[in-house]
Amino acid sequence: MSGYSISEPSARQKWIAGALVVGYAILTVLPLIWIIATGFKTPNDAIAYPPKVIFHPTLEGYVNLFTSRARATPDMLEKLGPPTTWYDTIVRQYDMIITGPSRYGQRFLNSVIIGFGSTFLSVFLGTIAAYAFSRFKVPLKDDLMFFILSTRMMPPIAVAIPIFLMYRALGLNDTQLGMILLYTAVNLSLSVWLLKGFIDEIPVEYEEAALIDGYTRFQAFWKVVLPQAATGIASTSIFCLIFAWNEYAFATLLTSGTAQTAPPFIPTIIGVAGKDWPAVAAGATLFLIPVMVFTILLRKHLLRGITFGAVRK
Amino acid sequence: MTFEPRHPVADPSQKQTFRHRLSGLSDRTIAWIFVAPSIALLLAINIFPLIWTIRLSLTNFRTNRPYAPVKWVGLQNYRDVLSDVGVWHSMLATAHFLFWTLFFQVLIGFTLAYLINKKFRGNDLWTTIIVLPMMLSPAVVGNFWTFLYQPQIGLFNYFIAFFTGIDPSSFSMIGDVSLAPWAIVIVDTWMWTPFVMLICLAGLRAIPESIYEAAECDRASRWRQFWTITIPMVLPFLMLAVLFRGIENFKMFDLVVQLTGGGPGDTTQLTSINLKREAFEKWHTGYASAYAVILFVTVFGLASIYVKALNKVKDR
């Protein structure tokens, strides 16, 4: 059997494996494509039977997502004159007028503020804690590390009751600060565990050399360790951001108005007659696309992030 | 005892050591300064609430009646929870959901990893595409799946109709008592199979080539190699994936709440959803707290036993 290698599957095997995987991939990505496509349909196209694959794209869903509208009487429309903007034109087809912006922008902004705020805090706290766990003799180190991990096992609803009471007493209910603190605490386990793995991989010799050169511990940490850990810190940040971005259970229980994030809001978008699926799809698309981009950027560190650093590859 | 000048500003070297003392704290002190904020935050937002939950679970407190007299009821709430038919029904629904999601995700996830490991051209690209659903917001995606599951107009029903010839308006995945438990299994499997796949892939790639070469020399068949080398070597990874998915799905809330809301009736009312109703709709705070403690102890206990088994497999 010349030229036979075990590591190299035969061309036929590769072809079959490739076809099966590509088939699965197409099937699995179909719902996502459907979300994006539905966002560009008219409400009638969205609920057509058989499902419409070819359709005239329209921005109706996006206009409906960002505006609140009201039905206008014919003479009222006449008084207003012809529509002045392209989004006016879309709305007028249905004898409606735009009465103002919808709440989606505000909810999206909340997601951004809470996401970035909690990510910054949890990665900052996680980095220094991970450095200490990695380099110093911390008493009860293993117990503390396990304690930090175990906080992740609690069902969110189980701790939500006292947090709800506590936040109500402190005035943190439905505030951005309250949500930032909460998500920071939830993400801390991930950031400490991941970052400890990344810092463990940086050779101690670098710091020792710096310390001998007269650097203080802080300086060595700041000027030697941090730059080395930059990739790890970046990917940990993205994981924390994605978690905070996607979180729903706490958000739906602890926020209702001013601090509500997008996940509890998007499913509540309704149109004039029942659910406005194109608007929901448009809202979902705008909300999901950033995560898809991040996932593609992160693909090398994905495994590490989802297993809390247990599998490093 | 000697007295030294208090403000040795005139002496630059003295100033240097003072600054040095400020930033050159002992390692032990730095370690505590670095760890303390994290521990403090976790104590405030995780441990303190947990202790509070335990305390509440021993009372008849109701959040919507904060001024009513609070009575100490001992373990009565725990007895009530454990003798509640609804709770056991939820446990059963959770068990069904857990078992079948893990079953399908392990089966499909491992198969995919095995196929991707054949290293066909472009496997990186397709792996990334398969991974996408896993990273998305379960609530937002779950909500959209209710659209895909619509009888008649839904894409899912259309597909089933297309391949089986059944009338697409004749069944409703989330409205039918016998189908709803499977509707949530399908979406969870769609979403989380890539998680198991990625971990299995890491396991497969960690198997040294030389083991297969040695087996080849011993004339072990491909089939035998698969069962005596591949499976045992991947098993610790697979078990780790099951641990993560098990804990996550035991806590499952967002995806299912958006998909079925626990319905129809209470067929897909998983424990987290049931708990949410008791705590935030019926406001049985004391009762719900006892329920929460029971759930936490269950997941913690099961996970600990499982980790022990995992370590045994790893050490083998």
pLDDT in tens, B153-185: 889 998 888 888 888 888 888 888 999 999 999
* Beta-carbon pairs below 8 A across chains A and B: 298
Domain span(s) for CATH 1.10.3720.10 in chain B: 80-315
Distance from CA of B68 to the nearest CA of A (A): 15
Alpha-carbon span B222 to A59, nearest angstrom: 55
Give the pLDDT band (50/70/90) at residue B4. very low
Residues 262 through 291 of chain A touching chain B, CB cutoff 8 Å: 262-264, 266-267, 275, 277, 280-281, 284, 287-288, 291
Q: Please judge whether B27 and A155 are an interchain contact, meaning their C-beta atoms are less than 8 angstroms apart.
A: no
Give the total residue count for chain B: 316
Q: Between B29 and B269, whose confidence is greater?
A: B269
Tell me which chain A residues have a C-beta less than 8 angstroms from the C-beta of B257.
248
Of B42, B280, B288, the CB nearest to A188: B42
Of B131, B145, B212, the CB nearest to A6: B212
Residues 39 through 78 of chain B touching chain A, CB cutoff 8 Å: 39, 41-42, 44-50, 52-53, 56, 63
Task: Taking the CA atoms of A8, A11, A13 and A15 in sequence, report the sign of the dihedral they define.
Answer: positive
Q: Please give the average pLDDT of every successive group of 10 residues along chain A, which has 313 residues.
A: 56 90 94 93 85 87 88 81 83 82 91 95 94 86 80 81 89 92 92 90 89 86 90 91 92 88 89 81 92 88 82 72
Alpha-carbon span A217 to A229, nearest angstrom: 16
Q: Please judge whether A17 and B44 are an interchain contact, meaning their C-beta atoms are less than 8 angstroms apart.
A: no
Residues B142, B258 contacting (CB under 8 angstroms): yes
Q: Please judge whether B128 and A6 are an interchain contact, meaning their C-beta atoms are less than 8 angstroms apart.
A: no
Q: Between B23 and B97, whose confidence is greater?
A: B97
Neighbours of A61 (CB within 10 A): 27
Report the candidate in B146, B155, B213, B203 with the shortest Cα–Cα distance to residue B173.
B146
Distance from CA of A128 to the nearest CA of B (A): 5
Q: DSSP string covering B68-107, please?
A: SPP-B-TTHHHHHHHT-HHHHHHHHHHHHHHHHHHHHHHH
Q: Return the domain boundaries, chain A.
A: 105-268
A156 in reach of chain B (CB within 8 A): yes
Q: What are phi and psi of A54, to 5 degrees?
A: -110, 125
Residues A118, A86 contacting (CB under 8 angstroms): no
Of A22, A153, A295, the CB nearest to B132: A295
* CB neighbour class for A83 (10 Å; exposed up to 12, middle 13-18, buried from 19): middle
Q: Please judge whether B139 and A164 are an interchain contact, meaning their C-beta atoms are less than 8 angstroms apart.
A: no
Distance from CA of B8 to the nearest CA of A (A): 22
Give the model's pLDDT for residue A247: 93
Alpha-carbon span A114 to A244, nearest angstrom: 7
State both tokens at A254. Answer: 């602890």
Q: Does domain B80-315 have CATH number 3.30.360.10?
A: no
Report the candidate in A276, A162, A111 with the shortest Cα–Cα distance to residue B144.
A276
Residues B143, A267 contacting (CB under 8 angstroms): yes
Give the residue from chain A lying closest to B52, CA to CA: A162
Whether the predicted pLDDT of B10 surpasses 50: no
Tell me which chain A residues have a C-beta less than 8 angstroms from the C-beta of B155.
30-31, 34, 51
Q: What is the mean pLDDT of residues B122-137?
A: 90
pLDDT in tens, B145-159: 999 998 878 899 988
A259 in reach of chain B (CB within 8 A): no
B237 in reach of chain A (CB within 8 A): yes
Cis peptide before B66 (omega within 30 of 0): no
Residues B61, A170 contacting (CB under 8 angstroms): no
User: How many CA atoms are closer than 13 Å to the CA of A229, on its beta-carbon side?
Assistant: 32
B28 in reach of chain A (CB within 8 A): yes
Alpha-carbon span B101 to B184, nearest angstrom: 9
Distance from CA of A91 to the nearest CA of B (A): 24
Q: Please judge whether A242 and B135 are an interchain contact, meaning their C-beta atoms are less than 8 angstroms apart.
A: yes
Give the model's pLDDT for residue B23: 52
pLDDT in tens, B205-250: 888 888 888 888 888 888 888 898 899 999 989 998 999 899 999 9
Report the candidate in A121, A130, A105 with the shortest Cα–Cα distance to residue A241.
A121
Q: What is the longest distance spanned by two Cα atoms in chain B?
A: 100
State both tokens at B138. Answer: 């379960």
Of B153, B247, B275, the CB nearest to A49: B153
For domain A105-268, give the CATH number: 1.10.3720.10
Give ∠ CA A23-A29-A31 in degrees, rounded to 5.
Answer: 125
Q: Please judge whether B288 and A161 are an interchain contact, meaning their C-beta atoms are less than 8 angstroms apart.
A: yes
Give the residue from chain A lying closest to B292, CA to CA: A158
Give the residue from chain B lying closest to A36, CA to CA: B144
Instruction: Enumerate residues 6+ apart whose C-beta is below 8 A from A267.
Output: A280, B139, B140, B143, B258
**Percent of chain B with pLDDT strictly greater than 90:** 44
Distance from CA of A201 to the nearest CA of B (A): 19
Tell me which chain A residues have a C-beta less than 8 angstroms from the C-beta of B272.
155-157, 249
Alpha-carbon span A183 to A166, nearest angstrom: 15
What's at B214, amino acid-wise?
A: A
A216 in reach of chain B (CB within 8 A): yes
Alpha-carbon span B245 to B251, nearest angstrom: 10
Instruction: Supply the pTM of this predicted model.
Output: 0.88
Mean pLDDT of chain B: 86
Give the model's pLDDT for residue A219: 86
Which segments of B151-284 does DSSP mark as H helices, in order? 155-164, 180-205, 209-217, 222-225, 231-250, 254-259, 271-280
Neighbours of B67 (CB within 10 A): 5
Q: Please judge whether A267 and B258 are an interchain contact, meaning their C-beta atoms are less than 8 angstroms apart.
A: yes
pLDDT in tens, B286-307: 999 999 999 989 988 888 898 8
Q: Is A247 left (phi over 0), alpha (psi -120 to 50) or beta?
A: beta
Q: Please judge whether A136 and B31 are an interchain contact, meaning their C-beta atoms are less than 8 angstroms apart.
A: yes
B137 in reach of chain A (CB within 8 A): yes
Tell me which chain B residues have a C-beta less than 8 angstroms from the C-beta of A21.
112, 115-116, 120, 123, 126, 130
Whether the predicted pLDDT of B120 surpasses 80: yes
State both tokens at A28. Answer: 């699995």
A158 in reach of chain B (CB within 8 A): yes
Give the model's pLDDT for residue A115: 94
Of A21, A132, A159, the CB nearest to B34: A132
Q: For residue B29, what is the enclosing H or E element? A: helix B27-42
